[in-house]
Amino acid sequence: MSCRRQPAPGQGGISGFTGEMWPLRQSRDMPHPSFRPERLFVQKGLTVVAQQFASDNYAGICPEVWDVMQQANEGSVPAYGDDEWTNRASDSFRTLFGTRCEVFFAFNGTAANSLALAALCQSYNSVICSSFAHVETDECGAPEFFSNGSKLLVARTDRAKLYPEDIRALATCRSDIHYPKPKVVTITQPTETGEVYSLEEIRAIADTCRELGLRLHMDGARFANACAALGCSPAEMTWQAGVDVLCFGGTKNGMAVGEAILFFDPAQAEGFDYRCKQAGQLASKMRFISAPWIGLLETGAWLRNGRHGNTCASRLAERVEALPGLALMFPTQANAVFLKAPEHVLDGLRKRGWRFYTFIGGGARFMFAWDADHERVAQLAADIEALAA
């Protein structure tokens, strides 16, 4: 059964609308005061909420995942991961990555990243990251919290990618006892600005890490989009390039919730099950965050979904990048478009009902998930064109 037409709880259509369904995260990103919520709804068989591209977390569960969740819902199954669904999902990862990695499941990316970094560090160690890194900007200090204080050392550059010279500078500038000893480098693939590290770039970072005695962690909240963009295998992008630990995002790839943590060196995973439990990340009904991966990995949906999001992003980018007064803030290489536009254009988009975040550099961020509707992407492009004219 497909889940595509199921309205989310509390989102039954115009009559069910209460203003509370919109997240109140950042006041500057709230709709324009003159905006009428009715404009957000379109008729499509059932009445559903018109699609928005403010975040790839707005998407629902993809059909392949829904299908497996329904199967996993049959009968009574052992708890806490001691079940066949969880074994099979772990094996699916090993098959996809072509290696016997250790696999763990967490509820969200903050937990996955923080616990993975904590596993690689002592409390007196430090983690080198970009100033754009989600672990630095959007995890509320969780990496430091879960590692009992391992400090993030932030590269002060104006770009989201880390380069070997940034790592070397931070790792070698001090070696005295008063400085938190660098132990890990974390990179986000694709970056928070939608850029993709090439395999050469990852290998160069990994070589620098090896030389300096550092481990390499990859925040792959949108890992599938990166694989789709580069057309390479998950193995090439990770352990074959020198990545030690990967956090593979399921939530943005078509699941309801869930991220997987893959340790390519099993020795580094020692005690990680206890770490997950202590952090409240051991799901008692584990099958509901492990089985969805079977739906993504065994059907190939993970890659199709990633590719689809990327295609939608490039379609929007192609239509708007050359418009007068507008510019792409970053190259569109995965499923994100960052648009620098005059205030009247951004305001006009808000008035027309479009939602977007402006938290990176003041431009509008649009994100495309597995369910992005080409027609709706075209509507957004047309609105941007009309406002820029």
Give yes or no for residue 238 binding ligand PLP (CB under 6 A). no
In the shown chain, the binding pattern of residues 176 to 215 toward ligand PLP, with x for contact by CB under 6 A and - for none, equals ------------x---x-----------------------
Shortest Å, Cβ 136 to ligand PLP: 10
Q: What is the DSSP letter of 51?
A: P
- Pairing status of strand 364-367 against strand 181-188: unpaired
Q: What is the DSSP letter of 357?
A: B
Contact call for residues 366 and 54 (beta carbons, < 8 A): yes
Site for ligand PLP in 244-263 (CB under 6 A): 251
DSSP helix, strand, coil percent of the chain (3-state; round to 5): 40, 15, 40
Give yes or no for residue 67 binding ligand PLP (CB under 6 A). no
Q: Strand order in 245-249's β-sheet?
A: 102-106, 259-263, 245-249, 215-220, 181-188, 125-130, 151-155
Contact call for residues 349 and 290 (beta carbons, < 8 A): no
Instruction: List the beta bridge partners of residue 336.
Output: 367
Give yes or no for residue 110 binding ligand PLP (CB under 6 A). yes
Shortest Å, Cβ 259 to ligand PLP: 7
- Pairing status of strand 245-249 against strand 215-220: parallel
Q: What is the DSSP letter of 329?
A: S
Name the nearest CA neighbour of 256 among 7, 1, 41, 57.
57
Shortest Å, Cβ 173 to ligand PLP: 26
Contact call for residues 184 and 214 (beta carbons, < 8 A): yes
Closest to ligand PLP by CB, 47 or 55: 55
In the shown chain, the binding pattern of residues 117 to 156 toward ligand PLP, with x for contact by CB under 6 A and - for none, equals -----------------x----------------------
Closest to ligand PLP by CB, 250 or 348: 250
Shortest Å, Cβ 252 to ligand PLP: 7
Site for ligand PLP in 90-109 (CB under 6 A): 108-109
Q: In angstroms, rounded to a whole number, what is the distance separating the alpha carbons of residues 85 and 154? A: 39
The encoded tokens of residue 33 equal: 């005061």
Give yes or no for residue 218 binding ligand PLP (CB under 6 A). no
Shortest Å, Cβ 54 to ligand PLP: 12
Give yes or no for residue 310 binding ligand PLP (CB under 6 A). no
Residues of this chain that interact with ligand PLP (CB under 6 A) are 108-110, 134, 188, 192, 219, 221, 251
